[in-house]
């Protein structure tokens, strides 16, 4: 009884965690489902068919490829722009700091439907209504990823001890050398984290993309389309893969940073 009282909060917390995993179990399970009909969405039998023929549903893999291409370019663009901004925010003086903070915060606080519709209004007003597609999606994705990059890189930079940089300067390193040999390697994990976050935000976005996509179909838009007609089980294969890959990356990063910390401690 005493044990229960001491650990009640922890048990409740674990219960909430378990709850967050319920749909994941369903997605993994359904990826092995052998459906009797496309219209009835329930588990009917076990099969490896979906995993062996992931690209069977028409249009799914091309949508997946579109999403990956957009995700990759949007990640590169937003990571560069956001990282530069983060350096300026932490390291440099400039006029208008609080409006800058607001400019970076607002895209994270604006509902996607509002951002998407105003961007669409802009494209229509400037005569780009006919050009909606890959490029307009890309523009939108870079826009809403920048803020998340700034926040992630900024917190890494702000938590960083600048004694190491001072030491490098004292040892006659030029500013360039100090930056590339000391500062950048220290900030890099933050930049990498920001890039991964951007990719997953871009890859998963539906609301803004849907408004500005024209005839281009991304993976979430494909899922939205088939949700009305009957979902091919391969969608769950992709869902499972996304989960597994993301977890592997996060765990890999964690293990790597622990190993580095241990190596530093041993030195």
Partner 1 sequence: MASTAGTAPVTTAPASDESDRRRGLTGYILLIPGVVWLALFFVIPFYSLLATSLYDPNGSVFSGYEMTYHWQNYVDAVKDYWQPLLRSLVYGAVATLICLVLGYVLAYAIAFKAGRWKNLMLVLVIAPFFTSFLVRTLAWKLILADDGWVVNALQAVHLLGPDGRLLATPVAVIAGIVYNFLPFMVLPLYASVDKIDHRLVEAAGDLYANPFVGFWKVTWPLSLPGVVSGTLLTFIPAAGDYINAQLLGSPNQRMVGNVIQNLFTDANDYPAAGALSMIMMVGIVAMVFIYVRRAGTEELL
**Joined tokens for residue 56:** 């069977």
Residue 255 found at the interface with partner 1 (CB under 8 A): no
Candidate list 100, 164, 169, 186; residue touching partner 1; CB under 8 A: 100
Candidate list 48, 55, 122, 167; residue touching partner 1; CB under 8 A: 122
Residues in the chain: 267
Phi, psi (rounded to 5 degrees) for 42: -155, 165
Stretch touching partner 1 by CB under 8 A, among 51-59, 68-76, 96-104, 259-267 = 96-104
Of 196, 179, 181, 184, the closest CA to residue 156 belongs to 184
Q: Which residues contact 36 (CB under 8 A, 6 or more apart)?
A: 44, 45
Which 2-21 residues touch partner 1, going by CB under 8 A?
Answer: 7, 9-10, 12-14, 16-17, 19-21
Residue 195 found at the interface with partner 1 (CB under 8 A): no
Phi, psi (rounded to 5 degrees) for 137: -65, -45
**Joined tokens for residue 221:** 């838009």
Candidate list 68, 72, 73, 90; residue touching partner 1; CB under 8 A: 90
Which 27-66 residues touch partner 1, going by CB under 8 A?
Answer: 27, 30, 41-42
Neighbours of 221 (CB within 10 A): 19
Residue 125 found at the interface with partner 1 (CB under 8 A): yes
**Joined tokens for residue 197:** 């976050």
Residue 69 found at the interface with partner 1 (CB under 8 A): no
Q: Report, in Å, the least distance between residue 232 CB and partner 1.
A: 12
């Amino acid at each position: 009884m005493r044990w229960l009282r001491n650990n009640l909060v922890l048990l409740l917390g674990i219960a909430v965690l378990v709850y967050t995993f319920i749909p994941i179990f369903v997605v993994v399970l359904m990826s092995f489902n052998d459906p009797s009909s496309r219209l009835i969405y329930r588990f009917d039998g076990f099969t490896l068919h979906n995993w062996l023929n992931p690209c069977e549903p028409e249009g799914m893999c091309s949508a997946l490829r579109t999403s990956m291409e957009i995700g990759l370019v949007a990640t590169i663009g937003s990571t560069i722009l956001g990282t530069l901004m983060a350096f300026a925010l932490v390291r440099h003086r400039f006029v208008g700091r609080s409006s800058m903070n607001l400019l970076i915060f607002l895209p994270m606080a604006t509902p996607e439907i509002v951002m998407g519709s105003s961007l669409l209004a802009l494209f229509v007003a400037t005569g780009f209504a006919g050009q909606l597609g890959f490029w307009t999606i890309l523009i939108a994705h870079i826009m809403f990823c920048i803020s998340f990059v700034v926040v992630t890189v900024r917190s890494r930079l702000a938590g960083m001890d600048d004694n190491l940089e001072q030491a490098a300067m004292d040892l006659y390193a030029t500013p360039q050398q100090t930056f590339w040999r000391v500062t950048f390697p220290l900030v890099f994990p933050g930049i990498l984290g920001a890039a991964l976050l951007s990719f997953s935000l871009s890859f998963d976005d539906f609301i803004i993309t849907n408004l500005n996509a024209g005839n281009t179909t991304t993976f979430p838009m494909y899922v939205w389309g088939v949700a009305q007609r009957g979902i091919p089980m391969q969608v769950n294969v992709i869902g499972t893969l996304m989960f597994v890959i993301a977890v592997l990356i996060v765990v890999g990063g964690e293990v790597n940073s622990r190993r580095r910390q241990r190596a530093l401690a041993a030195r």
